[in-house]
Each structure stands twice: as C-alpha cells, then as structure tokens.
A = this chain, B = another copy of it.
Amino acid sequence: MPANVPPRVYLQPGAPPELVEAVTSEATLVADAADANVIVWANIDGDGFLDARHDDIALVQLPFAGIDRWVAEGSIDARWTYAAAAGVYAAPVAEHALALLLAACRRLHECARASDWGKRWERAGTSLDGSVVGIVGCGGIGERLLALLRPLGASVVAVTRSGRTVEGATRSLAASQLNELWPIVDHVVLLAPATDATRSLVGAAELEAMRSTAWLHNLARGSLVDTGALLAALDDGRIAGAALDVTDPEPLPEDHPLWSHARVLITPHVACPPPVLLPHYASRVRENLRRLRQGERPLGVIDLDRGY
C-alpha cells in the first residue's frame, strides 16, 4: 500500500461504536466491501470475514490472536495479508491466567462446590509466594503475566521457541529444552500457539515428569494437551490439578469426565470476553490504520510459515 494514502476501510457491519471511532479517526469508512482496500473485522469468533475479501484488499485486520482454525482449513492463505490481534489479548488473558493460578492455589474450585464449612483448614490452600511458574510460549501474554506474578513472590521459567532471554524470568528455555521444565515448576501455563509443533505438547511423559503437587493451566488451545493422558494423570494423582480455558474436543461434551473431576476447573474459552477486548482492539485498529496511512508495517501481520 502506498505511503500517505488514507486507507478505505470496510468495517464489519454492526461493529461497536468504539471501532467505528477508531476507524474514522485514521481512515475513511466505506459502506461497501467492494470500495475498500482494508477489511477490519469485529467478531471475535471470526465468522464472515472470508466473504468480504477481494483483489484490492491490502490488509485484513482480525480481532483474534489464534488463526489455527482458518490455516487448517486453508482459507487463510498467502493471497492476502492478514493482521491478527496478537498482543491485544495480553492484558485480558494474563489476568485470566492469574485468576486460574490463584484459584488453583486457594482451591476456589473446591470451595465453590462445597455445601458446608468443613473442618478448619480442610480446604486451605497454598500460596503463589515462593512458587515457580513455567510459562510455555512466553510472548506478549506471558510477559504481562510475568509482571503480574512478580509482586506476588512467584518466579517464572519462560519457554520461547528461540530460547531468548525473557526479562524478569529466573530462567529462559528454548522449546527444544522443554524436558527440563516439567520437574522444576509448581504451575505450567500454556500460552503457545496451536501449530504442528505444539500438538500434544503435554502428553503422558510430560505429565509423568511434573511434580505431583503441580497444576497444569491451558489458555492456549486444546490441541496442546493430550486430553486422555491428562485425565489419566489426574485420576492417578500424578499431578495436582488442571485449569483449562480451552479443551480438546471443544466445546467439551456434557458427559466428559473432566466436568466432574474434583481437581479440575474449566472456563469455557472466555479468557478474553469481547467487552474486555474491545478497548484494546480499538487501540490496535487505530494504530494499524495509522501505520498503513504512513506506509509503516502493521502490527501482528501473520507469518504463514510459522502459523501465527
């Protein structure tokens, strides 16, 4: 897209006023997709954006971070340039991860299900203070989570694909060193994208290598965890519990044994509710339209070779 040309944006019909304002502050809003050179999508579930694309579209701005579903079905391909909203989710999802970590420590899942006071200390929990949290896929969300964990006295082992030094982590590991992670952490938080490389990242061997007091938290995608192996590990007490915002299969069927497991807390893929996302996404849209207008590279452009 040539520099200094205001983008003409087709915004998903029915988009909230915050997005209309973000678009009109930096670009021209057009009513018809045919007149546009940029698509800005609003629906976090993504439905419909595929139909709006045409040859003149220079960028499709998407409101979600994980694009695995569309890559898998071949509908996101190299013909168009897409910007995902990776990074925009950092604060909301890190907050949800912290909520799950604290709920696990403080046994809030058990408390919520109790119908009597019990014996004193029967449902007493532990603390994040002094604990070691392993963050697998420590990008924007993980770095934000790390900043929330430090004042609580938890230390972080950060795993990234490259093994780059993550600021504030007590140790930084590469994906190839993952086997060193499992025995040394009290909590594992999965935040890595769903790719071929991360499929069943956590299986029987990894669960076996974890401490029996450790919790597994998945806020990435269900495909990262072998559900059968997880259930077996929970049943055998090989790990202490699991907090899952994503599952495989998803939605998790009503009769699935994870629902009734005493040491499992499931939140139905709600780490970033749309009203919580909206102000963050509106800022991103504004920034990316400014970048397009000034001939800069938008944030979050998808690299199909990596898959995110």
Contacts and interface: CB of A to CB of B under 8 A. Distances in A.
A268 interface: yes
A115 B152 contact: no
B129 A92 contact: yes
A135 to B, nearest CB: 16
A254 interface: yes
Interface in A96-129: 96, 98-100, 102-103, 105-106, 108-109, 111-118, 120-129
Interface stretch (A178-186, A201-209, A229-237, A269-277): A269-277
The winner among A92, A254, A266 for most chain B CB atoms within 10 A is A266
Interface residues of A, number: 53
A45 to B, nearest CB: 7
A31 interface: no
A129 B45 contact: no
A259 B102 contact: no
Interface in A245-282: 250-252, 254, 259-260, 265-270, 273-276
Interface in A77-106: 91-92, 95-96, 98-100, 102-103, 105-106
A151 interface: yes
Interface string A158-179: 0000000000000000000000
